[in-house]
Structure 1
Amino acid sequence: MVHLFTSESVSEGHPDKVADQISDAVLDRLLALDPNSKVACETLVTTGQVILAGEIKTNAYVDMQSIAREVINRIGYTKSEYMFEGNSCGIFSAIHEQSVDINRGVERSEAMSQGAGDQGMVFGYATNETENYMPLSLELAHKLLIAIAKIRREGNEMTYLRPDAKSQVTIEYDENNTPIRINTIVISVQHDEFIVPINNSPESQLKADEAMLDKIRQDIMDILIPRVISEIKDRNILSLFNKDIIYHVNPTGKFVIGGPHGDTGLTGRKIIVDTYGGKGAHGGGAFSGKDPSKVDRSAAYAARHIAKNMVAAGVADEMLVQISYAIGIAHPINIYVNTYGRTNLQISDSEIANIIEELFDLRPKAIEERLKLRNPIYEETAAYGHMGRIPKIITKEYTDKQNTIKLEVELFTWEKLDYVETIKNTFAAKNICKKQKND
């Protein structure tokens, strides 16, 4: 029986993502200057205004205003007609120190005894339907918006684009859970009012709006979609693009008012975009603005790392991993695995969970060290997904008063396939065999 599954993504100019990027930029600056910083930074953005709030324990000093303005300008909110502009928006900070009651549960004299920064459960997920072990619907939704942002920054085509945008992709699957075609693509792009009505009558305005929409639709089909297709190397995915795809472009008919002027943005409101597009599960905790002592973030990365390496090692075609914690306690309360009946080995999901516990140290401090999380690596995660990204090493620069600090950091370490051989060897040593095809 065929079925449809849909995922959405939002651009870096979406108001919630503006908030996420500001929160993570603050976190990065603090970790660069004081790697032991404890940070929980929340951001609200609205018409002409940014509000920062949260709790921070650090030995560093950072200029919150300049960080927020740099992020807003980088995203592209640089014109007064957007009603939200980096150099002129008001910025209010209500940051205070972290609660001593929380801190006492986290810091320990023995580093590896560091407790979890809060209770909660996290999920990691992986599927072999794409090369980076992500759901195809979300992968394509991200690719559409990454391409839109590149076109906007290049400034040669679709010159009317503004920073805000959303996408949604619906994939049709067969009874074996294999993608067989793209059913629907939805694209909403914020734009200038680049066609002016000839007079103030409603009829003239409607005619101008329809002309703008026709132009945007044509450009999406002639510029955006071909560019996205040209960047896809997997032939199986390329075969899913066909003339029968249903396209909805700016379905309301007009999208001039957008960004923080159109909708208030808050840190942590796009957690499904940030993770797996609705596939698997989500524990409910947001990521951005949180240092890695918060297992909402660090353990979610660890769970993805586990699920991805397990699927890549051939343990299952699809896997969900849950890890839960109690505040102040180092070891997780439980590890749960669900392979949705798609395991490739003669072993139960609970036995896989036991092996995961043997292979991966899931104490918060161990996760921080294994994935190198006490580094300024987070602003890059705050748009286009935290999962499914490409690990890479870059150099970052930060100015502390008159001194410039250069740091070499590794991004998206939880996406590395560095445990595949260990996993294969472990299962082989336990004499766990592959399933027979007729099992």
Structure 2
Amino acid sequence: MAVVTIESNLGRLAVNFRTSEFVSKAHPDKMADGISALVLQEHLINDPLAHVAAETILSSSGEVSLYGEITSGHDMTQADYERLVRGYVGGLGWTKAHGYDPDELIIRKQYALQSPDIAQGVVESDPSRLGAGDQSETIGFAIRNPRFSEEEDQRLPLPHALSRDLLLAINALRESSLSEVIKPDMKSLVEVSYKDGKPVALEKLVLAVSHSDSIENGQLRELIRDTVMSVLHKYKLNFNFDEAIVNGTGKFVIGGPRGDTGLTGRKIVVDAYGPEIPVGGGAFHGKDPSKVDVTGAYLARWIANQIVGNGLADKCLVRLSWAIGQPMPVAMHVDLCGTEKNSIKNITEMLAQIDTSLGVAIARFGMREIKPGDTKGIVYPAIAGWGPFGLVKDDSERPWDLVVPPDKWKEWTAPKIEVAGQS
């Protein structure tokens, strides 16, 4: 039976255990997120005011069904959507040899128009009066990790950042030299022990890495060993890799949608901060910026980042509550978790200068300024692939993770940059 751990937080030296998992961008659910995000991006490139709520289902039979509501000035044909989907799936590393051939997918487009009842509240020429596209509770979080410099600190729960960085490293190894034997579908899970609220040791490591049938699981372990240990060294965590569970059944050849159906929005805890932090009201990907599930969550993260990144507190949880058609949150709650380093009064006054209206947040982050080009900016499929928060070296910027001095909070907006399109 599993080891049962009972925790007590009554003592000052209490020890507890925190877990988190992540999945790669070629996991079936993340593939669905990425396709939905790519559809969104294609419409925003051609119609910045498009209203999009795209959802995707990938079945084990090879069908890709595109659902949702889209009202856009950019007309797309069945062939256009097929081109996007096949190109995206192939770009993830799926091939006929790996059991999921982009050219053989059956793609069904079944989008409808946005409800006029919603549209009347979110179409507004004055950005400061743009109404929320739905009601939602959105969460932002940031925490200082003293194991890292301020430049390297992702301000995420350490187990969650670690679980993603492990997969990023293994996927980079796969892309660089092992794409024929390691398939792109991967999962990770870590358990970290804490004492006095600080991470102490890595207790458990679980990896699921899909592979071709030309190698055994033992060979796979050795192929990824050095890469995994390099990431753990960066995190200053000791661990005996021989104790890691890699592909618990001993085999992971049937991966991707052939092994498990993919659905947009099913990895909301992975996308956010892991299981120790509350999640908000909805998923992030495939939704245009009028959807506060997305923009509200990014705004809440930006606020939490400013508090922690400027040394005003070591930990911050922000909750923004939204009502459909309303331009600003109907409630804002900030929890400094007893870690504040400045007076509550001063921090409250600093926060009061931030304009939290939806339209201003969209402009602040440049969320509709998606233009073809050769420089970096927001790339929605990349954000869907590896998540919206923290330090990820991919094709996308994450402006809600930038920290600026408090005297810039009122007027700050993301740098104006052109964005490489994914079409």
TM-score range, shorter chain: 0.7 to 0.9
Determine which of 240, 243, 248 is the counterpart of 2:245: 248
Report the Cα distance in structure 1 between the residues aligned to 2:117 and 2:405, rounded to whole angstroms.
37
Who is 1:380 aligned against?
Answer: 382
- 2:77 paired with 1:91: no
**1:154-165 map, 5 Å:** 154-155=176-177, 157=178, 159-165=180-186
Greater Rg, structure 1 or structure 2? 1
The answer to whether the Cα contact below 8 Å between 2:23 and 2:270 also exists between their aligned partners in 1 is yes
Report the Cα distance in structure 1 between the residues aligned to 2:82 and 2:408, rounded to whole angstroms.
46
Equivalent residue letter for 2:63: Q
Equivalent residue letter for 2:206: V
Determine which of 217, 223, 230 is the counterpart of 1:219: 223
The answer to whether the Cα contact below 8 Å between 1:337 and 1:352 also exists between their aligned partners in 2 is no
Q: Give the CA deviation at 1:279.
A: 3.2
Q: Give the CA deviation at 1:219.
A: 2.5
Q: Normalising by structure 1, what TM-score? A: 0.82
* 1:248-276 per-position Cα deviation (integer Å, ceiling 9, x unaligned): 11112111112101110000111111111
Closer, same or farther: CA 391–257 of 1 in aligned 2, 3 Å: closer
**1:138-217 map, 5 Å:** 138-155=160-177, 157=178, 159-175=180-196, 177-195=197-215, 212-217=216-221
Closer, same or farther: CA 12–107 of 1 in aligned 2, 3 Å: same
Q: Normalising by structure 2, what TM-score? A: 0.85
Report the Cα distance in structure 2 between the residues aligned to 1:245 and 1:113, rounded to whole angstroms.
57
Determine which of 2, 5, 11 is the counterpart of 2:24: 11
**1:382-401 map, 5 Å:** 382-389=384-391
Determine which of 350, 353, 357 is the counterpart of 1:359: 353
Partner SS for 2:344:
coil
- Structure 2, unaligned runs of 5 or more: 1-13, 371-377, 411-423
**1:18-417 map, 5 Å:** 18-47=31-60, 48-62=62-76, 63-79=80-96, 82=99, 84-129=100-145, 130=148, 131-155=153-177, 157=178, 159-175=180-196, 177-195=197-215, 212-221=216-225, 223-229=226-232, 232=234, 237-238=235-236, 240-243=237-240, 246-347=243-344, 352=347, 355-356=350-351, 358-376=352-370, 377=378, 378-389=380-391, 411-417=397-403
The answer to whether the Cα contact below 8 Å between 1:188 and 1:250 also exists between their aligned partners in 2 is yes
Report the Cα distance in structure 1 between the residues aligned to 2:392 and 2:183, rounded to whole angstroms.
27
Identity %: 37
Closer, same or farther: CA 242–189 of 1 in aligned 2, 3 Å: closer
* 1:26-49 per-position Cα deviation (integer Å, ceiling 9, x unaligned): 111111111111100000001211
Closer, same or farther: CA 371–417 of 1 in aligned 2, 3 Å: same
After the TM superposition, list the runs of 4 or more consecutive aligned residues in structure 1 that deviate by more than 6 angstroms. none
The answer to whether the Cα contact below 8 Å between 1:390 and 1:415 also exists between their aligned partners in 2 is no
**Larger displacement relative to structure 2 (286-295 or 129-138):** 129-138
Report the Cα distance in structure 1 between the residues aligned to 2:397 and 2:217, rounded to whole angstroms.
39
Q: Give the CA deviation at 1:282.
A: 1.0
Who is 1:437 aligned against?
Answer: none
Closer, same or farther: CA 31–290 of 1 in aligned 2, 3 Å: same
* 1:170-208 per-position Cα deviation (integer Å, ceiling 9, x unaligned): 111112x1111111111110111115xxxxxxxxxxxxx
Q: Give the CA deviation at 1:98.
A: 0.8
The answer to whether the Cα contact below 8 Å between 2:38 and 2:381 also exists between their aligned partners in 1 is yes
The answer to whether the Cα contact below 8 Å between 1:113 and 1:330 also exists between their aligned partners in 2 is yes
Q: Give the CA deviation at 1:145.
A: 0.8
Report the Cα distance in structure 1 between the residues aligned to 2:382 and 2:156, rounded to whole angstroms.
18
Equivalent residue letter for 2:191: T
The answer to whether the Cα contact below 8 Å between 1:158 and 1:219 also exists between their aligned partners in 2 is no
* 1:289-312 per-position Cα deviation (integer Å, ceiling 9, x unaligned): 001000000010011111011101
Report the Cα distance in structure 2 between the residues aligned to 1:158 and 1:67, rounded to whole angstroms.
22
Closer, same or farther: CA 362–162 of 1 in aligned 2, 3 Å: same
* 1:119-172 per-position Cα deviation (integer Å, ceiling 9, x unaligned): 0110000000151211111111111111121122123x4742111110011111
Report the Cα distance in structure 1 between the residues aligned to 2:107 and 2:302, rounded to whole angstroms.
37
Q: Give the CA deviation at 1:362.
A: 1.3
Q: Give the CA deviation at 1:319.
A: 0.6
Report the Cα distance in structure 1 between the residues aligned to 2:262 and 2:241, rounded to whole angstroms.
35
Superposed CA RMSD: 2.2
More strand by share: 1
The answer to whether the Cα contact below 8 Å between 2:170 and 2:224 also exists between their aligned partners in 1 is no
- Structure 1, unaligned runs of 5 or more: 196-211, 395-409, 425-439
The answer to whether the Cα contact below 8 Å between 1:184 and 1:245 also exists between their aligned partners in 2 is no
Q: Give the CA deviation at 1:61.
A: 2.3
The answer to whether the Cα contact below 8 Å between 2:93 and 2:179 also exists between their aligned partners in 1 is no
The answer to whether the Cα contact below 8 Å between 1:42 and 1:267 also exists between their aligned partners in 2 is yes
The answer to whether the Cα contact below 8 Å between 2:33 and 2:56 also exists between their aligned partners in 1 is yes
Report the Cα distance in structure 2 between the residues aligned to 1:214 and 1:390, rounded to whole angstroms.
29
Closer, same or farther: CA 364–166 of 1 in aligned 2, 3 Å: same
The answer to whether the Cα contact below 8 Å between 1:335 and 1:353 also exists between their aligned partners in 2 is no
Report the Cα distance in structure 2 between the residues aligned to 1:272 and 1:419, rounded to whole angstroms.
30
The answer to whether the Cα contact below 8 Å between 1:185 and 1:245 also exists between their aligned partners in 2 is no
Closer, same or farther: CA 387–90 of 1 in aligned 2, 3 Å: same
Q: Give the CA deviation at 1:108.
A: 2.2
